[in-house]
Structure 1
């Protein structure tokens, strides 16, 4: 072989190796050959539509069997993720994905009391306690899907799951009925996560299967959040409610662990859930966060309850939360700018949680298909 031919042969080999390495980096094989979203270079990201954001989440994190994989978090699965994908698939009119995701959750996470175990990994449930937000979201998704595809079986499954939420994950208090953190929160004071409450989900489920406890839960959740926002500018990730109705912010679930009382990746969901409510009183609570969240422009997810950032790491869900608060306050231009920022952050550094809330942020704020009253036009 001549020297020039040898050089060409060596260069071809190097290029082939580079392509193979690149594919290995982009394809994260979790047993089903699923392809995670590839990062987009800084400066080239473009705003997504709700459908584009939704497809990116479903295509990037749902395996062919319907398991939603947290590819950036040890490849485990949580009931929250299954519920998020069900909501997105129902909104996008993707019956195939919806059926697979719900089927996987039903077959692998169902508990005897009708709720869902919250965490699965390495072929088995590793924590069989329930998470109330996931159950409420999944029940809502089932009812929405049943209505959209005229399938009474889905509506019935959603109503049954909703009743389990009322039976297992709510308690009456001096403030009214509140949503506890899950099946494990069984003692007074009850552990609660303010971002778990979803007025729109309650509305959807109450319409499908009337039960006076839904109205009690709606009023109690609003009252609890109002108490927390009267005490601080931002809601905490975790709190506890006493039977008397006394509410206090806590560090971590049930006051254990955590990194101090703060507003972070859990609490950021609260303005999104309340901004889409059809009750003006709920929207007003979301609007109260607009001022504290607009003091900085770095989309920091971790803040003290006064709104001061406790770090400079930007977050997709933080940007979506800022959009929700702005929309609730009537600032549509700022809201759309924050949604675009969420898109850019997710495209540049894709994550499971960011992908879920990039999609859900747009859907909850702009599209009534999930049964809420979005504050922005699609």
Structure 2
């Protein structure tokens, strides 16, 4: 009996270390594919541009993998290259092949949020007050420049410019990063973050569109409280909105909001699940979910079976990033 217990303990320890090794291998693979020597993350599926989203994603991954050297490299490049001195936020897109790599001076709040969140995690993990100070400053700038009260709700606009159209605002529900907002609330004790969480959840409840009963990538909120798929983009639950259930799960594994995704994806076998659906017409993609999209589906439908991510040689930046974020959310 004693020998059997010892054998079981050894097996459990071996499993833990093998899973850790797989996770480490995934991070090493991710870095080798997408991290440039200067600290820039390249979007291989989008002409190798960079965005604040990718910098923030990878900074979070570096903290999770206790990789301070890579974190420093990415943060230094992001701060020096993308930070807007006028508002403390970040230019959202960088194209290295253009004479002027930064043509759009707007920010993207998902990227800003992830950068601030990663700095908060890093400051706590590595006992670095400078990281915490930077995180606080970015979070404060986000509230000052991107949070508005509209239709009686506290909302996070996708960027400082171009999304408040007076009679309505355009929102991207995949920018509702609830677990980050919770950490900002816990650190600052400001009610604005709890209001964003509560009102963001109310808004998601009003974004069950059409037959699939899912949000579209972009949604218009009108002053009377109505929500409709934004007319400026295809009315699809697609590559943006796939992050909505990821962040909902990350915030609350048992959120009732996850049921809509379970119901939709549950209609299809795993390998026959369409990559997107038009929430207005019901039309679906002719190709199926794979890679990171499937990883999100697995997280929502079968979280107990989520394995350590494996980044393939063919994987593009976004698919690989979703896989890595799913692993963080599943922890």
- When normalised by structure 1's length, the TM-score is 0.74
> For 2:24 and 2:46, how far apart are their aligned partners in 1?
25
1:177 pairs with 2:177:
no
2:95 is matched with which residue? 121
1:108 is matched with which residue? 81
1:187 pairs with 2:182:
no
1:205 is matched with which residue? 184
**Distance 1:308-1:324 versus aligned 2 partners, 3 A rule:** farther
Task: List structure 1 runs of 4+ shifted beyond 4 angstroms.
Answer: none
- Deviation for aligned residue 1:301: 2.3
> For 2:171 and 2:70, how far apart are their aligned partners in 1?
31
Superposed CA offset, 1:195-226 (max 9, x none): 11011000111122221111111111101101
1:319 pairs with 2:294:
yes
Superposed CA offset, 1:259-281 (max 9, x none): x311110011111100011485x
**Distance 1:133-1:203 versus aligned 2 partners, 3 A rule:** same
Alignment of 1:359-374 (within 5 A): 359-365=324-330, 367=331
1:277 pairs with 2:258:
no
Q: Which moved more, 1:271-280 or 1:193-202?
A: 271-280
Gaps of at least 5 residues in structure 2 are: 1-18
Decide which structure has the larger Cα Rg and report it: 1
1:355 is matched with which residue? 320
- When normalised by structure 2's length, the TM-score is 0.84
Out of 10, 33, 46, the residue aligned to residue 60 of structure 1 is: 33
- Deviation for aligned residue 1:181: 1.2
**Distance 1:351-1:294 versus aligned 2 partners, 3 A rule:** same
1:265 is matched with which residue? 239
Alignment of 1:1-378 (within 5 A): 49-111=22-84, 112-122=86-96, 124-184=101-161, 185-188=163-166, 189-229=168-208, 233-250=213-230, 255-256=231-232, 258=233, 260-278=234-252, 280=254, 283-296=255-268, 297-298=270-271, 299-305=273-279, 309-326=284-301, 331-333=302-304, 335-336=305-306, 343=310, 346-347=311-312, 349-365=314-330, 367=331
Gaps of at least 5 residues in structure 1 are: 1-45, 368-378
Residue-pair matches, total: 303
SS of the counterpart of 1:248? strand
**Distance 1:262-1:312 versus aligned 2 partners, 3 A rule:** same
- Deviation for aligned residue 1:317: 2.8
> For 2:22 and 2:329, how far apart are their aligned partners in 1?
13
In 2, are the aligned partners of 1:275 and 1:287 still within 8 Å (CA)? Answer: no
In 1, are the aligned partners of 2:43 and 2:50 still within 8 Å (CA)? Answer: yes
> For 2:42 and 2:178, how far apart are their aligned partners in 1?
27
